[in-house]
């Protein structure tokens, strides 16, 4: 007998439908190229077409789906061109965020960044990719939050979800993760020395440079395609 417990709880119905669909994408239950059956999804979630439509419109705006005529919705693929463009955008935005945050970064913030980076290194050795990913996001969030630009933070967050939660791979390209830890260490060293412009350039021209990271990107997304 099918589970009769409701999937959704009290919150904005549109938000709940959005989160449900995003989780399906993150887990790989909705894969790039798949069609979303709006009638079946509406029945499954026990909601009308309105919150489902609103959630799908948000997903389309964020680049996750394409809404076609006659209620057909396709989960978008992630192309190499998309990845290149997202890296350029994230690099520019995180660089700007770091410049804005620089006067507010305290010794405690820098110490916390070092701790998170050490946690990333330990997660690599334990093959715990989810922990690595969480600590990686938290590392960047320290200076992103201090930028005070909520629109920038939201845009970066959506683009990172497009890059890594679509679906999220449960495995490493360890050379990439180790290189990223090294780049983080170089960044905190520059921040600690007060080298503001060099730190911002490091974020843009190294850490989020498509050309610098290309050899790792090709390996990581080849694994994603193989799934």
User: Of 141 and 70, which is predicted with more confidence?
Assistant: 141
The pLDDT assigned to 172 comes to 73
- 84 with 187, same domain: the answer is yes
Tokens found for residue 64: 């996750």
**Residue 143's domain spans which residues?**
80-226
Q: How far apart are CA 143 and CA 34, in angstroms?
A: 36
The pLDDT assigned to 6 comes to 60
Length of the chain as a residue count? 227
- 137 with 200, same domain: the answer is yes
Task: Express each pLDDT in 70-87 by its tens digit.
Answer: 878 999 998 999 999 999
Asked if pLDDT for residue 127 goes beyond 70, the answer is yes
Of 28, 50, 75, at which residue does a domain stop? 75
Q: How confident is the model at residue 193 (pLDDT cuts 50, 70, 90)?
A: very high
The pLDDT assigned to 68 comes to 92
Task: Express each pLDDT in 97-125 by its tens digit.
Answer: 999 999 999 999 999 999 999 999 999 99
User: If you average pLDDT over residues 45-52, what whole number do you get?
Assistant: 92
CATH code (residue 205): 1.20.120.530
The pLDDT assigned to 132 comes to 95
Whether residue 129 lies inside any domain: the answer is yes
Asked if pLDDT for residue 197 goes beyond 70, the answer is yes
Nearest CA to 133 out of 166, 94, 170, 186 is that of 170
Q: How confident is the model at residue 9 (pLDDT cuts 50, 70, 90)?
A: low
- 68 with 89, same domain: the answer is no
Domain count, the chain: 2
Tokens found for residue 161: 């979800």
Of 75, 107, 123, at which residue does a domain stop? 75
CB count in 10 Å sphere of residue 20:
18
- 123 with 153, same domain: the answer is yes
- 57 with 17, same domain: the answer is yes
Whether residue 67 lies inside any domain: the answer is yes
- 51 with 104, same domain: the answer is no
Residues 6+ apart with CB under 8 A from 64: 22, 25, 75, 76, 162, 166
- 32 with 115, same domain: the answer is no
User: If you average pLDDT over residues 134-149, what whole number do you get?
Assistant: 98
Q: How confident is the model at residue 176 (pLDDT cuts 50, 70, 90)?
A: very high
* CA dihedral over 163, 168, 173, 174, signed as positive or negative: positive
Asked if pLDDT for residue 5 goes beyond 90, the answer is no
Whether residue 2 lies inside any domain: the answer is no
Please tell me whether the peptide bond between 171 and the residue prior to it is cis, using omega within 30 degrees of 0: no
Summary mean pLDDT of the chain: 91
Whether residue 6 lies inside any domain: the answer is no
Asked if pLDDT for residue 133 goes beyond 50, the answer is yes
CA 99-104-109 angle, to 5 degrees, is: 105
**Tokens 């998309």 belong to residue:** 82
- 117 with 18, same domain: the answer is no
CATH code (residue 67): 1.10.10.10
Whether residue 3 lies inside any domain: the answer is no
- 221 with 136, same domain: the answer is yes
User: What spatial distance separates the first Cα and last Cα of the chain, rounded to whole Å?
Assistant: 31
User: If you average pLDDT over residues 167-186, what whole number do you get?
Assistant: 89
- 189 with 98, same domain: the answer is yes
The pLDDT assigned to 166 comes to 74
pTM of the model: 0.87
């Amino acid at each position: 007998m099918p589970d009769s417990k409701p999937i959704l709880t009290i919150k904005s119905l549109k938000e709940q439908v959005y989160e449900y669909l995003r989780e399906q994408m993150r887990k790989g239950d909705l894969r790039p190229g798949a069609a979303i059956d709006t009638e079946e999804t509406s029945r499954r979630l026990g909601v009308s077409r309105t919150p489902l439509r609103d959630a799908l419109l948000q997903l389309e705006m964020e680049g996750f789906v394409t809404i076609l005529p006659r209620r057909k919705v396709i989960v978008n693929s992630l192309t190499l061109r998309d990845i290149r463009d997202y890296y350029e955008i994230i690099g520019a935005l995180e660089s700007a965020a770091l410049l804005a945050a620089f006067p507010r970064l305290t010794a405690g913030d820098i110490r916390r960044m070092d701790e998170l980076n050490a946690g990333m290194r330990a997660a690599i050795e334990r093959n715990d990719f989810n922990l690595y990913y969480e600590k990686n996001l938290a590392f960047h969030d320290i200076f992103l939050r201090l930028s005070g630009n909520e629109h920038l933070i939201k845009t970066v967050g959506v683009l990172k979800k497009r890059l890594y939660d679509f679906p999220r791979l449960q495995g490493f390209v360890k050379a990439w993760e180790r290189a990223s830890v090294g780049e983080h260490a170089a960044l905190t060293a520059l921040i600690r020395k007060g080298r503001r412009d060099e730190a911002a350039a490091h974020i843009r021209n190294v850490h989020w440079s498509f050309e610098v990271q290309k050899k790792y990107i090709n390996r990581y997304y080849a694994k994603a395609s193989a799934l």
